[in-house]
């Protein structure tokens, strides 16, 4: 079973995506959805299902992915720079569809950006509610797991549950290559999941927005022994509440909308994953959002 659970606040065909950005009023502008790379597509999928009339503008910072092993200053600077770029494109709200970026930057981003901001966080609370054995696994990036925000989440909502936290080294890199089921990836996942099963876990928190794309492979490995906690539907509902509160819901468009997809890399993998896993065949624009002086060095290789 996969549980699509609530977390606290934190058919393609269509018109020209550019038209969605030439907004007459703020409510007609797009919702900006951002991730270090392709993982935020799992959130975008849920948002489209919840609010098919909302124009969406997705940015994958694939040139600089993964964020999960970067330093905090880098993550904060990139999140702010991308949030500002999205605002310059008319975004009326921002979804930071990245647990890692949320963990490190959400407070500052909310302070600096003059639009509503929705973040994401691992589903610790639903896991604690659901687990019968009181043992749950958490797969997330190293940065997320080490963050004060995550520690506070476990302290506040973890109840009497024991959480076995496993950094998902290598998983984001695989998904950025559109690998969701190769033999080496299965082997890596098996190494991460077996100790959780051995410790009696009956629940697994997918604490990174890339990981829902591994759902089927995880299911092959663990069968029904683990309930998977994916918070993407809860995030979409939270966004809906936020847009309603601010009077920012879009009017129904004349014809179905395709999201506007942008990548700081060549976008080939973004296009492939959106087609394979979301059934969305849309062109990807390559965009340049430069590194600011205080951020780190260029990566050696870019992902799609």
Q: Which residues are catalytic?
A: 98, 208
Least distance in angstroms from the C-beta of 181 to ligand DGL:
18
CA distance 105 to 67: 12
Query: Does 264 engage in binding with ligand DGL (CB under 6 A)?
Result: no
Query: Does 79 engage in binding with ligand DGL (CB under 6 A)?
Result: no
Q: Of 60-68, 127-135, 189-197, 222-230, which part binds ligand DGL (CB under 6 A)?
A: 60-68
Which residues, other chains included, contact 304 with Cβ-Cβ below 8 Å and sequence gap of 6+?
62, 176, 177, 178, 263, 265, 266, 267, 268, 269, 270, 271, 272
3-state secondary structure of 165: strand
Tokens for 299, please give them: 């990566």
- Through-space distance between the first and last CA atoms of the chain, rounded to whole angstroms: 31
Going by C-alpha positions, the residue among 255, 258, 264, 274 that lies closest to residue 304 is 264
CA distance 231 to 233: 6
Q: Which of residues 10, 62, 131, 141 is near ligand DGL by CB under 6 A? A: 141
Asked if 128 and 159 touch (Cβ cutoff 8 Å), the reply is yes
Give the CA distances from residue 163 to residues 23, 25, 199, in Å, rounded to whole numbers and listed in that order: 45, 46, 10
Q: Which of residues 5, 62, 89, 100 is near ligand DGL by CB under 6 A? A: 100
Least distance in angstroms from the C-beta of 150 to ligand DGL:
11
Between 31 and 38, CB nearer to ligand DGL? 38
Query: Does 59 engage in binding with ligand DGL (CB under 6 A)?
Result: no
CA distance 174 to 94: 26
Residue bearing tokens 């759902």: 215
3-state secondary structure of 33: strand
- Per-residue contact string for residues 3-22; x = within reach of ligand DGL by CB under 6 A: --------------------
Residue bearing tokens 């310059």: 88
Query: Does 269 engage in binding with ligand DGL (CB under 6 A)?
Result: no
What residue is closest to ligand DGL based on CB?
Answer: 68
Q: Which of residues 98, 178, 239, 280 is near ligand DGL by CB under 6 A? A: 98
Query: Does 67 engage in binding with ligand DGL (CB under 6 A)?
Result: yes
> How many residues in the shown chain lie near ligand DGL by CB under 6 A?
17
Query: Does 123 engage in binding with ligand DGL (CB under 6 A)?
Result: no
Q: Which of residues 105, 166, 209, 265 is near ligand DGL by CB under 6 A? A: 209
Query: Does 231 engage in binding with ligand DGL (CB under 6 A)?
Result: no
Least distance in angstroms from the C-beta of 253 to ligand DGL:
28
Helices 99-112, 72-88: inter-axial angle, 10-degree rounding:
60
Q: What residues make contact with ligand DGL under the rule CB under 6 A?
A: 35-37, 39, 65-68, 98-100, 141, 144, 172, 208-210
């Amino acid at each position: 079973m996969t549980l699509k659970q609530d977390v606290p606040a934190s058919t393609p065909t269509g018109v020209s995506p550019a038209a969605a950005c030439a907004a007459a009023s703020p409510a007609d502008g797009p919702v900006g959805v951002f991730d270090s790379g392709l993982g935020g597509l799992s959130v975008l999928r849920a948002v489209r299902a919840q609010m098919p009339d909302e124009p969406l503008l997705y940015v994958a910072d694939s040139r600089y992915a993964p964020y999960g092993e970067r330093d905090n200053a880098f993550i904060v600077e990139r999140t702010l720079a991308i949030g500002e770029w999205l605002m310059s494109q008319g975004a009326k709200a921002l979804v930071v569809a990245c647990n890692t970026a949320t963990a490190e930057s959400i407070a500052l981003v909310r302070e600096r950006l003059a639009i509503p901001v929705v973040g994401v966080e691992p589903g610790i609370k639903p896991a604690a509610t659901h687990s019968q054995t009181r043992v749950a696994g958490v797969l997330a990036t190293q940065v997320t797991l080490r963050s004060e925000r995550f520690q506070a989440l476990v302290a506040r909502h973890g109840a009497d549950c024991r959480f076995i936290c496993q950094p998902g080294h290598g998983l984001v890199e695989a998904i950025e290559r559109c690998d969701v089921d190769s033999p080496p990836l299965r082997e890596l996942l098996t190494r991460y999941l077996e100790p959780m099963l051995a410790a009696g876990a009956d629940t697994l928190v997918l604490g990174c927005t890339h990981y829902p794309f591994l759902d089927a492979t995880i299911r092959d490995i663990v069968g029904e022994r683990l309930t998977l906690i994916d918070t993407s539907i809860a995030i979409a509902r939270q966004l809906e509440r936020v847009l309603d509160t601010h009077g920012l819901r879009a009017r129904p468009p004349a014809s179905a909308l395709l999201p506007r997809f942008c990548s700081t890399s060549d976008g080939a993998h973004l296009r492939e994953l959106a087609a394979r896993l979301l059934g969305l065949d849309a062109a990807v624009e390559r965009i340049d959002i430069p590194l600011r002086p205080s951020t780190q060095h260029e990566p050696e290789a870019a992902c799609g």
